[in-house]
Structure 1
Amino acid sequence: MGKKFSGDRIILKDLGFYGYHGLMHEEMKLGQRFFIDLKCGVDLSAPASTDQVSQTVSYAEIYDAVKFAFENKRMHLIEAVAQNIVDGLFNTFPEVQWVKVRVRKPEAPIAMVRGEAAIELRRHRSS
């Protein structure tokens, strides 16, 4: 898509997964919930004007790629989990020009009564 990116994006929010990522023994053994928010920069002008699903990136396929990247490898750090997701999206969808991914860990092993620990990565596709 040789033109400048328009600012369009596909958004998936509050994707919930159960995983065994973490540094603590209990995290690796018992696992915990994680939530992922995702924005993918994709030029959506063609599907917006044609109303043809063949002209867009399927958010169901994006979800499948995120799920696979989250589940296929155990990581110590949620930063690495997020980077694995970004890499999977860039490798699977050449149309995706940038990704913003937030990985939230509500049961992080810290003494908080309420809230969650989270990281956010913003990555642009290398030229």
Structure 2
Amino acid sequence: MIDSISISGMEFYGRHGVLAEEHALGQRFVVDIKLYIDLQKAGKTDDLNDTVNYARLYDCVKRIVEGEPVKLLESLAARIIQSVLKEFPQIEGVKITLHKPGAPIQGIFKDVKVQIKRERKDYAL
């Protein structure tokens, strides 16, 4: 059985999208992330070194979302996952839901989101 750690509702301001205005003006993005990791050792040792530091994880996600613009949510989500897996070698898998509540759609809607799940074996890090 694999344990998990989740952080939901992380909000960042980024400049991602297909339209030039999205790159120029930017908008809010919301990230939910679930990490698949064995937490047995951390449960026994009560040592932060045996798990994932939530603050470091937040900073890792922030760096990507607030960093270099991309056109697609799918690309942004993939970059976040790759960065998380690279920075935290103890993580076995990542599931991310990336929300773009202000997507440029002519109509009434609550949210646009992309959800991706990847395992460490999917990447050559």
Q: SS of the residue aligned with 2:121? A: coil
Give runs of aligned pairs for residues 64-83 of structure 1, distance below 5 A: 64-83=59-78
Query: What aligned pairs does 1:41-120 form with structure 2 within 5 A after superposition?
Result: 41-120=36-115
Give the TM-score normalised by the residue count of structure 1.
0.90
Partner of 2:5: 10
Q: CA RMSD of the aligned region, Å?
A: 1.2
Question: Could you state the TM-score of these two structures normalised by the residue count of structure 2?
Answer: 0.92
Code of the aligned partner of 2:11: G
**Structure 2 spans left out of the alignment, 5+ residues:** none
Residue in 2 that maps onto 1:3: none
- The runs of 4+ residues in structure 1 deviating greater than 2 Å are 111-114
The percent identity for this pair of structures is 36
Contact 1:10–1:59 (Cα < 8 Å) also in 2? no
Structure 1 unaligned blocks of 5 or more: 1-5
The answer (yes or no) to whether the contact 2:42–2:51 under 8 Å persists in 1 is: yes
- When the two structures are aligned, how many residues end up with a matched partner? 122
Distance of 1:10 and 1:66 partners within structure 2: 15
